[in-house]
A and B are shown apart, each in its own frame.
Chain A
């Protein structure tokens, strides 16, 4: 078999799947549609046909955007970034990565793949600790001085920093991501935690 023929037949497969997928959408749910396409993609990828996989994931992303199915759209974007990375096409991966941020997409898989991309492309994100508050036994937060202008590439490095440089305790850490201007809160305990059966009573009383 020649290369030309195999490409043509793969192309046919993709076109056929797109057609069948569109038919499926007429009377099935977006999840059924996704399941169908994903099954097909799996077969293609097992034969290393990642270009075809990318075409189909673009089709899924677009379809899900039209249907306003943001979770599935985020999932398709995560697949697109990871597939471009597998194809070593960093430029395309970055394009999709930026698009996913501008479309404000988020999700478990997308977060995973974005982190992989950031580390692979060495476009380090600039996370800065802007506040460290210690949580006391009453759940109250006491501000302790943070060290500004120390940048962290990712959340796990923030965790490492907290474990290495803060005293024993439970901390509420606020991080500003300079790249997209968002902040996030992390609760990190630097102490060894053990499982207990906790019996808890809390009362508010008036004394006079």
Chain B
């Protein structure tokens, strides 16, 4: 628990630092708050250690004369009290420097070039549909100063780190009746998959011409940070061709024809991979930075990723840094070898995710350094809300569904809440929701709630809650306990009011993000 600590030389002013990470370093971010005996005076969210140090110094020097060495000592002592080993010299340096040494570091880099990575792919056992992106960086020399050296390596990692895209590019080509070939491009957004592990992507083409389109080619550029679990075009048995490009896997679909107003949709089920960045100091002036993408597979009731590394250079590496970014949906249960300081740290960044940093010195030629991660879902909350409008466009009900993660062997709970907005509706409301067929309702609250379970023709379980509408402005809710040893599905429910059904979706928004929400 982070506590406030009095400023040295003052009995009525206090500062509290709440870091987002448990690892000391220049990228450490967090909140700095300033108090007096009455309570909070002000607080600031700081984006890095420099910002934290400056904010503490600013608060300090509003009530006392500036004193950098005391401030640095105070911060070091504070961090130590919350279990973080700080570095007094670095803190003092940050307090004394206006801007870091970014410009000087830039000057040290002579050249960055892309390099072929086939040998690495073979040695690391890279998946068939994945690739390693490689850069070789020539620098003037490694700085002798430890702090500058670390900063330079950190900068090279940051500069060459893989950036996750938010949309996927699709290139489309087709022929018109007059023989003319048209090409177009679009960016398709990534959507929420059926389970927490999946990412949904829909690509395709709608024929808006008044004539038939022929010889259609749809080329989707799937980045290597995603594994393709499943893909296909509805009602069309069509196998695409795949080609590995530098930054993405190119999936090409060939469709003979599309009639006017017809739409062809290509559905992808993607899975996030672990983004790995490897930095190898090959010689004093030559550094390699590699990006690889590692599959996460189901292993019993958990998930696992087994990642290989081999030093394929015919020489000893001075230093090797491996940075694994675990997708935010997952939490690390354990690692093998164990990630223990000073050679490895698991950095949990609040509201962002987990990063594991490994550092090895003097890595011999042909030495292998494999890592195994055992993972589980990060505590999740699925929240879907539906605003129900009548045909006049007036909102009559708001309905929400929440799924909370719980112990795997117990299953999970689903809450439905109905709020009457519009007033005088007295028809029965039914909420129908899809569940995996092997899941079963084992409890409900209130106990007399009317819950029905049935299997539809395609083997999907439908659970329906039937209820009289609440009075205007009031709520009615039910909690259902479901047992099942697989994850729940994340889908929107369907609403029926009397014999009226959903006719049109007027608006839809979806997102995945880390949030601080009420403890459940």
Q: Which residues of A are at the interface with B, using a C-beta cutoff of 8 A?
A: 35, 42, 45-46, 48, 50, 78, 82, 85-86, 108-109, 111-113, 115-116, 119, 136-138, 140, 153-157, 159-160, 170, 189, 191-208
- Tell whether, in the assembled complex, residue A203 and residue B380 are in contact, meaning their CB atoms are under 8 Å apart: no
- Tell whether, in the assembled complex, residue B34 and residue A112 are in contact, meaning their CB atoms are under 8 Å apart: yes
From B39-47, B179-187, B445-453, the one touching the partner chain is: B39-47
In the complex, B177 has a CB within 8 A of chain A:
no
Most A-side CB within 10 Å, residue of B42, B385, B475, B496: B42
Nearest-CB residue, chain B, relative to A35: B98
- Tell whether, in the assembled complex, residue B419 and residue A138 are in contact, meaning their CB atoms are under 8 Å apart: yes
From B60-68, B240-248, B436-444, the one touching the partner chain is: B60-68
**A116-B41, A205-B389 known, 15 other contacts, Cβ within 8 Å:** A112-B62, A154-B38, A155-B40, A159-B39, A195-B351, A195-B379, A196-B517, A198-B380, A201-B384, A201-B508, A203-B508, A204-B386, A205-B504, A206-B502, A207-B495
Q: Which 8 A-B pairs have the closest CB atoms?
A: A156-B39, A156-B40, A193-B516, A112-B42, A208-B391, A204-B507, A201-B384, A196-B381
Count B-side interface residues using an 8 Å CB cutoff: 72
User: Which residues on the A side are within 8 Å of B381 (C-beta)?
Assistant: 196-199
Q: Is the interface of A mostly helix, strand, loop or mixed?
A: mixed
- Tell whether, in the assembled complex, residue B38 and residue A191 are in contact, meaning their CB atoms are under 8 Å apart: no
Q: Is the interface of B mostly helix, strand, loop or mixed?
A: strand
User: Which residues on the A side are within 8 Å of B398 (C-beta)?
Assistant: 138, 140
A199 and B383 in contact (CB under 8 A), knowing A137-B417, A138-B398, A207-B501? yes
In the assembled complex, the CB of B57 is this many whole angstroms from the nearest CB of chain A, namely: 10
User: Which residues on the B side are within 8 Å of A138 (C-beta)?
Assistant: 385, 398, 400, 419
- Tell whether, in the assembled complex, residue A156 and residue B518 are in contact, meaning their CB atoms are under 8 Å apart: no
**A81 CA to B12 CA in the complex, in Å?**
18
- Tell whether, in the assembled complex, residue B515 and residue A205 are in contact, meaning their CB atoms are under 8 Å apart: no
- Tell whether, in the assembled complex, residue B63 and residue A116 are in contact, meaning their CB atoms are under 8 Å apart: yes
Can you give 25 A-B contacts (C-beta < 8 A)? Answer: A46-B65, A78-B62, A85-B63, A108-B44, A136-B419, A137-B400, A140-B419, A160-B39, A170-B518, A191-B519, A192-B519, A197-B381, A198-B511, A198-B513, A199-B380, A199-B381, A200-B513, A201-B510, A202-B387, A202-B507, A202-B509, A207-B390, A207-B495, A207-B503, A208-B390
In the complex, B382 has a CB within 8 A of chain A:
yes
Partner of A111, one of B42, B65, B508: B42
User: Which residues on the A side are within 8 Å of B44 (C-beta)?
Assistant: 108
**A159 CA to B98 CA in the complex, in Å?**
36
- Tell whether, in the assembled complex, residue B192 and residue A201 are in contact, meaning their CB atoms are under 8 Å apart: yes
In the assembled complex, the CB of A174 is this many whole angstroms from the nearest CB of chain B, namely: 19
Nearest-CB residue, chain A, relative to B498: A207
In the assembled complex, the CB of A165 is this many whole angstroms from the nearest CB of chain B, namely: 16
Most B-side CB within 10 Å, residue of A116, A138, A206, A207: A207
Nearest-CB residue, chain B, relative to A42: B66
Nearest-CB residue, chain A, relative to B58: A109
Partner of B512, one of A111, A113, A189, A197: A197
Nearest-CB residue, chain A, relative to B36: A119
**A124 CA to B460 CA in the complex, in Å?**
65
Partner of B518, one of A153, A193, A203: A193
- Tell whether, in the assembled complex, residue B505 and residue A198 are in contact, meaning their CB atoms are under 8 Å apart: no
- Tell whether, in the assembled complex, residue B328 and residue A197 are in contact, meaning their CB atoms are under 8 Å apart: yes
User: Which residues on the B side are within 8 Å of A200 (C-beta)?
Assistant: 383-385, 509-513
**A160 CA to B378 CA in the complex, in Å?**
32
Most B-side CB within 10 Å, residue of A45, A155, A191, A208: A208
- Tell whether, in the assembled complex, residue A196 and residue B380 are in contact, meaning their CB atoms are under 8 Å apart: yes
- Tell whether, in the assembled complex, residue A197 and residue B378 are in contact, meaning their CB atoms are under 8 Å apart: yes
In the complex, B490 has a CB within 8 A of chain A:
yes
User: Which residues on the A side are within 8 Å of B520 (C-beta)?
Assistant: 194
Nearest-CB residue, chain B, relative to A196: B381
- Tell whether, in the assembled complex, residue A193 and residue B519 are in contact, meaning their CB atoms are under 8 Å apart: yes
In the complex, B201 has a CB within 8 A of chain A:
no
- Tell whether, in the assembled complex, residue A156 and residue B38 are in contact, meaning their CB atoms are under 8 Å apart: yes
- Tell whether, in the assembled complex, residue B400 and residue A199 are in contact, meaning their CB atoms are under 8 Å apart: no
- Tell whether, in the assembled complex, residue A194 and residue B519 are in contact, meaning their CB atoms are under 8 Å apart: yes
User: Which residues on the B side are within 8 Å of A136 (C-beta)?
Assistant: 419, 475
Partner of B350, one of A159, A160, A195: A195
- Tell whether, in the assembled complex, residue B390 and residue A206 are in contact, meaning their CB atoms are under 8 Å apart: yes
- Tell whether, in the assembled complex, residue A206 and residue B518 are in contact, meaning their CB atoms are under 8 Å apart: no
User: Which residues on the A side are within 8 Å of B379 (C-beta)?
Assistant: 194-197
Q: Write out, one digit per residue, whether chain B residues 141-155 have a CB within 8 A of any chain A CB (1) or not (0).
A: 000000000000000
User: Which residues on the B side are within 8 Å of A193 (C-beta)?
Assistant: 516-519
Most B-side CB within 10 Å, residue of A108, A116, A160, A170: A116
User: Which residues on the A side are within 8 Å of B268 (C-beta)?
Assistant: none
In the assembled complex, the CB of A31 is this many whole angstroms from the nearest CB of chain B, namely: 11
In the complex, B2 has a CB within 8 A of chain A:
no
A159 and B40 in contact (CB under 8 A), knowing A45-B66, A195-B350? yes
A108 and B511 in contact (CB under 8 A), knowing A192-B519, A206-B391? no
In the assembled complex, the CB of B373 is this many whole angstroms from the nearest CB of chain A, namely: 17
**A159 CA to B40 CA in the complex, in Å?**
10
In the complex, B313 has a CB within 8 A of chain A:
no
**A175 CA to B61 CA in the complex, in Å?**
30
In the complex, B196 has a CB within 8 A of chain A:
yes
Q: Write out, one digit per residue, whether chain B residues 411-442 have a CB within 8 A of any chain A CB (1) or not (0).
A: 00000010100000000000000000000000
User: Which residues on the A side are within 8 Å of B496 (C-beta)?
Assistant: 207
Nearest-CB residue, chain B, relative to A113: B62
